[in-house]
A and B are shown apart, each in its own frame.
Chain A
Amino acid sequence: MNKIININLAGRLIPIDEAAYDSLRDYLNRLKSFFAREKGGDEIVRDMEDRMGELFQDKLKKGTPCIMLSDIDDMIKIMGSPEQIESEAGEEENFNARNVNNAKQAAHNDSENTRSHRLSRNKNDKMVGGVCGGIANHFNIDATIIRVALIIITLAWGSGLILYLLLWAILPEVDDQQPSVKRRLYRNPKQKVVGGVCSGIAAYANVDPIVPRVIFAAPLLGMIFFGILDSGIFFFPVLVGGLPTLVLLYIILWASLPEATTVAENLEMRGEKVDIHNLSQAIKGAEIDKNVTPKRSGLAQLIAVAIKIFVFFILGTILLALGSIIIAALMAMLGFTSTTGFMFPFGSLITENETYKVLIWVCIVLTLAIPFIGVMRTLVRVISGRKKSTNRWITGVMTVLFGAGVFGLFWIGGSIASDFKVPYTKTYELALAQPNNDTLLVRQMVLDESGILSDKDWDREDYEEWDNEGIRFRDDSTIAISNINLHFTNSPDNQYHLRVQKSANGRTLKRATKLAENVAFNYKQEGNVLLIPRDFVLAKNHPFRNQKISIEIQVPKGKVFKTEGIDRNMYTDRIFRVRRGQFSYETKASSMWDDEQYYRMGDEGSIESLDKNNTDTTTTPVKDTIIN
């Protein structure tokens, strides 16, 4: 069924079929543009319309109900196409003018061709200096590819940047006004499986879309196949390394390549010249495409579906992994207890103030994430090559947030620093039973998992297990720090003494006093064995403010002491100071005593080491003195 419309052709009413109408209108437009440059051109066309109307009316009189496409064709045969008219009736001057125009056009094309053969910088297609645009023009490749290659070279070997600067300085700048016949790399939204990246590449390189898809999916497929076959040791690392790289490359291309939505862009994507003729053909082709589904072989379709499933599966897994990481980070940030509890303890180490803890994490995230996002955005913009106007609002907001993050960190840092202003130290004399054989054994206390004194005896194995942890995270979410040091000194009398210095810092003396007094020093004595702890526990809501325990064991003259399992760290004094808003940390080493070695305190505090098998009557072999 066709649509008939009535037209007024130079005063005559003509019923005409819709398709014939399109053809007629097209012909008339061509005539109009052909005679446009001629004096009285409209009159000519009007006269011709008049004649056409006459011809149509004759046909209608003969019995045709309306003018059809074939009638239009007949009419054009009689009247002639603009080109035919040109050759029959072309005026001398027009002929000359046409020749001159052709000559000019040819010369123009020639000069442009020579221009693109010389390597130059392209003024029109530039992001930074136009180097990539010039190279792309010279080789007739899309500038985006050159930019991606340059970035990859820079990231991998670093020399890309120097090369770019060198070319920028050397190459002359050329203003290329030529409308781009070169091919541009687009994403093809009409034939997309995931993002249309592969079909865009396929259209650009003039291959079937299956080819780039296989390339992108190769590592994944290879992993699966080789995993099943359990062979190909050589390929495996290549594939494992290749998969994340290709996925990343795909995502970058997806973000940076523009979609070929308009017909003109579609033509550019396929590398065809964008002029009226091609455009109209492309539009017609596009309409036909809509009706005809492309027939692909069964195998190709199967592979396409399989690839689709794999891609979605992989992307889904990645998203899940990312999501769970983000959720875990958020939970830790908000202070939920977890067995790993990585971030939480650090928070309470720094401050007991809950608000501060949140603020610290927010500021850290802002300070780190925003530059990262900024760099990503710039990278994407450089790759895409299109100077899309950057959203000023976004940049402004990002800068403000970044500044707020940095400022917040500094402010919190200053606030915490002032917490260390005032130091306080208190010395206690603790009860110590005198050993009955004039030898005091100082042994490391062994705590099991939950911090309770274990039944085991201390032995070498446990000792080696302890690495130099300064901080231990206990199960009940408190923290123990090993800021303890040990000294052996001369006793003023003939008794062993145990003196302990507890110190801490605070914003005020009152706070410092409270913190120092709250330091728990748990020691134990069993016979002549003094068990001292490795660390002490910071009570909940008591942050680290340089709490320290200094143990002084006074040994009387002529008496002996021996250490068992005391780590060398115990002999280092860690001094943590805040002066005028600056942190300073220094270590002071005091006398170190070998482990498992008897020492006798001599005159004037000099200490001599004793042989194990010393037959001195004042000493007794080790075994007898161990009391359980």
Chain B
Amino acid sequence: MNTENTAAQMRKGVLEFCILSVIRKSEVYPSDIIEQMKAAGLVILEGTLYPLLTRLKNAELLSYRWEESLSGPPRKYFSLTEKGDKFYAELEQTWSQLAEAVELITNPKA
């Protein structure tokens, strides 16, 4: 058993949460999301993003609109729906609880 598998599982768990977080801050298009996540140190394959976005959209957590761009074809701009907002709030709570628990376990105060 190698770490890659477990590490990938860890990242997979938080991906949706991170993406929702980025979109929540402002309306963005996909490559923007990649940039922001890269800047924060979370490197993912761009290909990973698209199926996730579509799933979130199909779950009605996201919505998008088309915006004409000057250089090239129109782009999708994603934003959180109301349902997405509620979903995010729950996830945020889950995450903080989880993070705290993990922190406690891995770094026990003497």
B8–chain A nearest beta-carbon distance, Å: 6
The reply on A48 being an interface residue by CB < 8 A is yes
Residue among A11, A78, A87 with max Cβ neighbours from chain B (10 Å): A87
Chain B proximity mask over A27-46: 1 for CB below 8 Å, otherwise 0: 00001000100111001100
| Residues of the B chain whose Cβ atoms lie less than 8 Å from the Cβ of A35 | 51
**Are B72 and A47 in contact (CB-based, < 8 A)?**
no
Contact of A88 among B44, B54, B55, B58 (CB under 8 A): B44
**Are B11 and A47 in contact (CB-based, < 8 A)?**
no
The reply on A79 being an interface residue by CB < 8 A is yes
Give the interface size bracket for A toward B.
20 to 34
**Are A50 and B73 in contact (CB-based, < 8 A)?**
yes
Q: What's the dominant secondary structure at chain A's contact region?
A: helix
- Interface members, chain B 55-81 (any A CB < 8 Å): 55, 57-58, 72-73, 75-76
Closest to A81 in B: B47
**Are A57 and B31 in contact (CB-based, < 8 A)?**
no
**Are A79 and B31 in contact (CB-based, < 8 A)?**
no
Chain A proximity mask over B1-27: 1 for CB below 8 Å, otherwise 0: 000000010011001000000000000
From known contacts A88-B15, A89-B12, A90-B12, infer whether A38 and B51 are also in contact, taking CB-CB under 8 Å. Answer: yes
| Contacts from A to B (Cβ < 8 Å) | 10-12, 31, 35, 38-40, 43-44, 47-48, 50-51, 53-54, 57, 78-81, 84-85, 87-91
Closest to B12 in A: A88
| Residues of the A chain whose Cβ atoms lie less than 8 Å from the Cβ of B89 | none
| Residues of the A chain whose Cβ atoms lie less than 8 Å from the Cβ of B55 | 38-40, 91
B95–chain A nearest beta-carbon distance, Å: 17
The reply on B99 being an interface residue by CB < 8 A is no
**Are B44 and A47 in contact (CB-based, < 8 A)?**
no
Contact of B31 among A31, A39, A51, A87 (CB under 8 A): A51
| Residues of the B chain whose Cβ atoms lie less than 8 Å from the Cβ of A79 | 45-47
From known contacts A10-B73, A12-B72, infer whether A47 and B46 are also in contact, taking CB-CB under 8 Å. Answer: no
The reply on B96 being an interface residue by CB < 8 A is no
From known contacts A35-B51, A51-B50, infer whether A84 and B45 are also in contact, taking CB-CB under 8 Å. Answer: yes
| Residues of the B chain whose Cβ atoms lie less than 8 Å from the Cβ of A91 | 55
| Residues of the B chain whose Cβ atoms lie less than 8 Å from the Cβ of A39 | 55, 58
A512–chain B nearest beta-carbon distance, Å: 107
| Residues of the B chain whose Cβ atoms lie less than 8 Å from the Cβ of A50 | 73, 75
**Are B73 and A12 in contact (CB-based, < 8 A)?**
yes
A97→B37 CA distance, assembly (Å): 30
The reply on B52 being an interface residue by CB < 8 A is yes
A461→B54 CA distance, assembly (Å): 115
| Given contact pairs A40-B55, A47-B53, A78-B45, a sample of 17 additional A-B residue pairs in the complex whose CB atoms are under 8 Å apart | A11-B72, A38-B51, A38-B55, A39-B55, A44-B50, A47-B30, A48-B46, A51-B30, A51-B31, A51-B46, A54-B31, A54-B72, A80-B46, A85-B45, A87-B8, A88-B48, A89-B49
Q: List 29 A-B contacts (CB under 8 A).
A: A12-B72, A38-B54, A39-B55, A43-B54, A44-B50, A44-B51, A44-B54, A48-B46, A51-B31, A51-B50, A57-B72, A78-B45, A78-B46, A80-B45, A80-B46, A84-B47, A84-B48, A85-B45, A85-B48, A85-B51, A87-B8, A87-B12, A88-B8, A88-B12, A88-B45, A89-B48, A89-B51, A89-B52, A90-B12
Residue among B15, B50, B73 with max Cβ neighbours from chain A (10 Å): B50
| Residues of the B chain whose Cβ atoms lie less than 8 Å from the Cβ of A12 | 72-73
| Residues of the B chain whose Cβ atoms lie less than 8 Å from the Cβ of A78 | 45-46
| Residues of the B chain whose Cβ atoms lie less than 8 Å from the Cβ of A51 | 30-31, 46, 50
From known contacts A12-B72, A88-B11, infer whether A40 and B54 are also in contact, taking CB-CB under 8 Å. Answer: yes
B29–chain A nearest beta-carbon distance, Å: 10
Closest to A79 in B: B47
